Amino acid sequence: MTGYSGVWVYAEHRNGVISKNTLEILGKGRELADKLCVELSAVLFGCNVSSSANVLTIYGADKVYVTDDEKLRNYKTRTYARLMTELILKHKPEIVLFTASTTGRDLAPRVAARLRTGLTANCIDLDIGDFEDKETGRRYEKILYQIVPAFGGNVVATIVTPFNRPQMATVRPGVFPPPEKIFRKGEIVLFKPEAIDVDEEVEVLEVNRSQEESSLENAKIVVGGGLGVGGPEGFKLLKELADSLGGCVGVTRPVTDAGWMPYDSMIGESGRTIRPDLYIACGISGALHHMIGVRGSRKIVAINNDPKAPIFEAADYIVIGDLFQIVPKLTEKVKKYVGAL
């Protein structure tokens, strides 16, 4: 285990544009690296991506390992996993982080299994701390705390990988704020393996990433609706409020289960994670499964007609009342007096 040092972030990009979620974990990675007093590095694979490497240093990487090759034009699981493993074995980072995107969740377990190390999925937080092994009484210092919702989101568990290196985790998109530009003077290291071991058994026939991603994650204001909204008709009221504030509507899982609103508007453990300036929860009871997805909101307003609704525990502003009275009033006054920031 000795000789392993440094925090790594696997950088995702679309045609060279570094993903927002990568920058989020880069920000957290910086914090972890500072706590450990080690370097933060990013790893960037692709074709014609070298020019994007400096974005990663601007946002906090001390070093960026780049492999820029025609053979990496399309993402292929095994090609990338072999390359990533080779790089890890060469430089021995103690921590390797991925975003929990469809790519991260495809690649990271392959790499972890190749390295026979642990991997924790979908972390909502990360930290550095000590671990005492109860069996042997030995203390392990400065290891990675990987914090995940457990048992369907009712509790959180802290997972550690004390005896293996690297310690690996995928991180849920949206749980960390995007970092500030810190214009670090980073070093770009071109990594040219002798041969790139391309997966010949897989052929990429088509890549289509043209759909716009949901605007929910980027919205400054989100109006949330739960079963209390009562049906598709009720959601029109919420949409009007959201429109008047320049925001979006998000919902709880039973709402998408009932087919009142589309699946991709679901917020929470099984849906999206948002961190708007303002979250207005209407007719939502406040199950932890849902609250996990909104806890990064700056301010939370809860409108519920049940004074004992658990959501009031987790709200900045409590409005006890019927949403069918409050919401239209709110929309009316917002239209008159208010503009979104």
Partner 1 sequence: MKGVINMHIIVLIKQVPDSREYVRIREDGTLDRERVRAVINDCDKNALEAALQLKEKFGSKITVVSMGPPKAEDALKEALAMGADEAILISDRRLRGSDTLATSYVLYKAIERLGHYDLIICGIESSDGGTAQVGPELAEFLGIPQATFVDEFKVIGGYVEAKRLVEGGYEKLRIKMPVLLTIMKNANNPRVTTFSGILKAVKKQVVTWTIDDVGAEEKKVGLAGSPTKIMKVEKLSFQRKRLMIEGETADEVVDNLLKRLVEDGVIRGGY
319 touches partner 1 (CB under 8 A): yes
The region, left, alpha or beta by phi > 0 then psi within -120 to 50, assigned to residue 122 is: left
Residues 68 and 73: their CA atoms lie apart, in Å, by 9
d(CA 16, CA 48): 7
Question: Which of residues 162 and 321 has its CB atom nearest to ligand FAD in the complex?
Answer: 321
Among 16, 178, 254, 296, binds ligand FAD (CB under 6 A): 254
Q: How far is the CB of 321 from partner 1 (least distance, A)?
A: 7
Non-local CB neighbours of 148 within 8 Å, separated by 6+ positions:
120, 121, 122, 123, 124, 156, 157, 159
Cα dihedral 38, 115, 66, 105 sign: negative
Q: Which of residues 256-285 bind ligand FAD (CB under 6 A)?
A: 266-271, 283-285
Which CB sits closer to partner 1, 63 or 261? 261
Restricted to residues 170-209, the positions that interact with partner 1 (CB under 8 A) are: 199, 201-209
- Choose the one of partner 1, ligand FAD, none that binds residue 226, judging by a C-beta under 5 to 8 angstroms depending on kind: ligand FAD
- Enumerate residues 114-153 that contact partner 1 by CB under 8 A: 114, 116-122, 131, 145-146, 149-152
| Among 297, 299, 288, 216, residue whose Cα is nearest residue 250 | 216
- Residue 283 CB, shortest distance to ligand FAD, in Å, is 4
Exposed, middle or buried by CB within 10 Å (0-12, 13-18, 19+), for 119?
buried
- Closest approach, Cβ 22 to partner 1, in A, equals 12
The span of 58-66, 104-112, 199-207, 247-255 binding ligand FAD (CB under 6 A) equals 247-255
**At a CB cut-off of 8 Å and minimum separation 6, what does 295 contact?**
314
Which residue number, 285 or 297, has a Cβ lying nearer to ligand FAD?
Answer: 285
In angstroms, the CA 97 to CA 233 distance is 43
253 binds, among partner 1, ligand FAD, none (CB under 5 to 8 A by kind): ligand FAD
Q: Which is nearer to ligand FAD, 49 or 237 (CB)?
A: 237
Q: Give the C-alpha separation, 56 to 63, whole Å.
A: 9
Interface residues for partner 1 in 90-119 (CB under 8 A)?
A: 101-103, 105-106, 108-110, 112-114, 116-119
**Residue ranges in 301-340 that form contacts with ligand FAD under rule CB under 6 A:** 303-306, 309, 322-324
Residue 13 interacting entry, from partner 1, ligand FAD, none, C-beta within 5 to 8 Å by type: none
Sole binder of partner 1 in the list 3, 137, 259, 339 (CB under 8 A) = 339
Q: Are the C-beta atoms of 252 and 283 separated by less than 8 Å?
A: no
Q: CA 15, CA 335: separation in Å to the nearest integer?
A: 40
The two three-digit tokens of residue 173, written as one number: 């998109």
Spell out, one character per residue from 191 to 230, where the chain touches ligand FAD: x when CB under 6 A holds, - when not.
Answer: -----------------------------------xxx--
Residue 36 CA from chain centroid, whole number: 22
